[in-house]
Structure 1
Amino acid sequence: MSQQIPFVDYLVLGENPHLVANECAACGARFFDRRNACAACGATGFRKAQVATAGEVRAFTIVTVAAPGVPVPFVAATIDCEGTSVKANLVKVTPDPEHVKLGMKVRLATHSLGTDSAGTEAIGFGFEPLETAIDGQ
């Protein structure tokens, strides 16, 4: 039986995949990496906070040159998920300015990054256009 593991620690798999941020207990700033202190206020207390799975594209770039072996073009974006800023690639979208727009509604999507020789599958995430997700395309 194969096993699935998240590619990053802050991706939670299961029936309802989502991201989990470290939220400052003092000011509410959110971070995906480990912190000893809050970069916004300096406090040292953190709690886990589930991040909204839907959001809006706030910034994006269409990447046309990448490291060897990385297929291009692709869209790298910053997504506002109800106040939490998430950097991720857009998936299931044509990577050109006619199909990607600021303010575009998107939602979290998981996908396989590959399986090792022991059958363990790494699962990554991106965001897909909400219209595509609703239409099932």
Structure 2
Amino acid sequence: MVDYLVLGDEPHLQANQCDNCGARFFGRRNACAHCGGREFSTVPVSNTGTLRTFSIVYRAAPTIPTPYVSAIIRTDDDTTVRSNLINVEPDPAKITLGMKVKLDTYVAGTDDDGQEAVAFGYSPA
């Protein structure tokens, strides 16, 4: 569903890394928000990381099932990713800051032609 999710034998995220300062971004950039650099390289992002913060969402657009866990993940290579925490009950007693997580993919829907839309989230490791 996003162009920075690379599918295949081992799905992973890829980021645009500033060649000048090393800051990482998802999606296209004209310039680095950190240093203003204009040259970027595409780099793979670690599939494992740590839960930094989360929020349980109870209200969303009508077609979005709730509740779900919105999270910020710090990957093991120090990239920050905004994602959903999946395969865990949306209960604060079941989720702990600092818990180890891993990238997972799942089918988010299917179009009229049977084409699956694949999304990503992070599961407890």
- TM-score, length-normalised on structure 1? 0.88
Asked which structure has the greater RCO (Cα within 8 Å, sep 6+), the reply is 1
**2-side partners of 1:71 and 1:43: how far apart?**
40
**2-side partners of 1:92 and 1:73: how far apart?**
13
Residue 133 of structure 1: aligned partner: none
Q: Counterpart of 1:41 in structure 2: which amino acid? A: C
- The two structures, once aligned, show a CA RMSD in angstroms of 0.7
Residue 7 of structure 2: aligned partner: 13
Equivalent position to 2:96, from 98, 101, 121: 101
Over 4 Å off, 4+ runs? none
**What is the percent sequence identity of the aligned residues?**
53
Paired residue total: 124
Does 2:60 align with 1:70? Answer: no
Moved more, 16-25 or 58-67: 58-67
Equivalent position to 2:33, from 35, 39, 57: 39
Residue 47 of structure 2: aligned partner: 53
Q: Counterpart of 1:68 in structure 2: which amino acid? A: P
- TM-score, length-normalised on structure 2? 0.96
Residue 117 of structure 2: aligned partner: 122
Q: Counterpart of 2:116 in structure 1: which amino acid? A: E
Q: Counterpart of 1:76 in structure 2: which amino acid? A: S
**2-side partners of 1:92 and 1:51: how far apart?**
21
Uncovered stretches (5+) of structure 2, i.e. residues with no partner: none
